[in-house]
Amino acid sequence: MPAHLRWACALVLAYGPPALAGAAEPAPATLRWADVAAAIDRDPRVAASRSRVRSAEGALTAARTPPNPELEATAGRADARDGATRRNEWGFALTLPLDWLARRGPEVDAARATVDEAAEEARALRAEVTAELWRLHVGAAYAQAEVETLEATERQVDALARLVRRRVEAGEGRPVEIPRVELELERVRNQIDAALALRDGALAQLAAWLTVPVQRVELPSPPPPLEAGSPVLDGSAHPRVRAALARAEAARAEASAARRSRVPALSVGGFYTSELDREAVGGRVGVELPVWDWRSGRVRRAEAVAAAEASRAEAEGRALAAALADAAAACGRARAVADRQKNRILPRAEESARTLERTFQLGEAGILDVIDARRVLLEARREYLSSARERDVACGALILLSGRELP
């Protein structure tokens, strides 16, 4: 066998076909997306939103509860003017406020709307927390895949460097090939160091939010594409929009309560008095005299707040529509780039690397051509991983923004 074919066969056996990663080694427990999703309800931000819902429910109970009656007791010592008689005097008075009856309906409506707002805000916050954890999980998984790809490339380039040295020592290669391949090896190692730092940082962020050590992450399945022609979401069903509508409803109810507060406050009650010279039993009625304050300022303020909240709800709907359009465009763009990278660019880079290897076996190409082809292939693989990460993050954000759950 000619010398150049013998070295070419050794190169192919040591260098191996293009691969994303090397042989699997025993690895620690892998964190799956299902594990992360199960931990979302334990997130402190989600727990805080549930507490706000319970607080709003307590306010609703308070709004439904009538005020307590007021009991007044008096006691004293009385002497007749002539000093002939002396005795203790005492009395009781019971008062039932009735002014709350006029405001009870609107105040209960406002409290109920506040509960709805808190519940929808909790749903929206949970979706935001899910999107953030999904971004961290996907980023860590693809950073891990990039490290594995670079480590596999390092092993291949190291094997290539050993072959080049043996060829030069045998007098079948040029000495200038040794520093070239060694420089390529150091270049790959620099890329590995940078990728390791990014991977460790991504794993540390994920571990900080989950409060568990994370050493390895499973690469999740890509989010499914939207069906062609199907509406992404009815904007009125989104938690943010429903929360804004609930705030507007609460503001309208508070404006109604403010208008009803113009009704003069009324209270009824009864009393019993035991005095020095008499005993008295009777009833009492109290009516507020709105001489100076007709609650006009409070009414104007409440009506202005209601108008502002209605405008905010409309703005929230428009903002959601714009965000959905942007998210759909970002998802479609990222998916198209990832598909093109996987189906058109990456196969061509692999075919080019294989062609250069066969040409090298025939002695018609140098080792530098093989290095360049492998470098192009490595960049194509890294670009595919980057585009796939952007696709998963963007399309996952679209799914969550549209009110659905990630698979």
Q: What is the model's pLDDT at position 384?
A: 92
Give Cβ neighbours of residue 317 (< 8 Å, ≥ 6 apart). 235, 236, 241, 244
Averaged confidence pLDDT in the chain: 84
Mean pLDDT score, 244-264: 90
Q: For the CA atoms of 166, 167, 173, 174, what is the dihedral angle to 10 degrees?
A: 0
- Whole-angstrom Cα distance, residue 212 to residue 222? 25
Q: In this model, does residue 4 exceed pLDDT 60?
A: no
pLDDT value of residue 330: 93
**35: which 2 tokens?**
């594990």
Compare 240 and 371 and report the one with higher pLDDT: 240
- Over residues 162-186, the mean pLDDT reads 78
Give the mean model confidence (pLDDT) for residues 228-249.
77
pLDDT in tens, 198-215: 999 999 999 999 999 999
Confidence of residue 237 (pLDDT cuts 50, 70, 90): confident
Distances from the Cα of 323 to the Cα of 37, 312, 333, 402, angstroms: 24, 16, 15, 10
Q: Which of 189-193, 292-296, 358-362, 388-392 has the lowest mean pLDDT?
A: 358-362
Of 228 and 198, the structure prediction assigns the larger pLDDT to: 198
DSSP 17: S
pLDDT attached to residue 204? 94
* List of domains in the chain: 3-68+102-249+321-401 (1.20.1600.10)
Determine what percent of the chain is predicted with pLDDT higher than 70.
88
- Residue 46, pLDDT > 60, answer yes
| Mean pLDDT of the region 97-125 | 91
Residue 88: band (very low, low, confident or very high) from pLDDT cuts 50, 70, 90 = confident
The two three-digit tokens of residue 180, written as one number: 């070239």
Position 133 pLDDT exceeds 90: yes
Q: How do residues 303-348 score in pLDDT, each as one tens digit?
A: 999 999 999 999 999 999 898 889 889 999 999 999 999 999 999 9
pTM equals 0.79
| Strands ordered across the beta sheet of 266-274 | 70-79, 86-97, 266-274, 279-287
Per-residue pLDDT, 209: 92
3-15 and 100-169 helices cross at what angle (nearest 10)? 160
Q: How many CA atoms lie within 13 A of 360 on its CB side?
A: 24
Which carries the bigger pLDDT value, residue 82 or residue 377?
377
At residue 397, does pLDDT exceed 60?
yes
When pLDDT is cut at 50, 70 and 90, the band that residue 8 belongs to is: very low
Phi-psi category of residue 242: left, alpha or beta, with phi > 0 → left and psi -120 to 50 → alpha: alpha
pLDDT of residue 28: 59
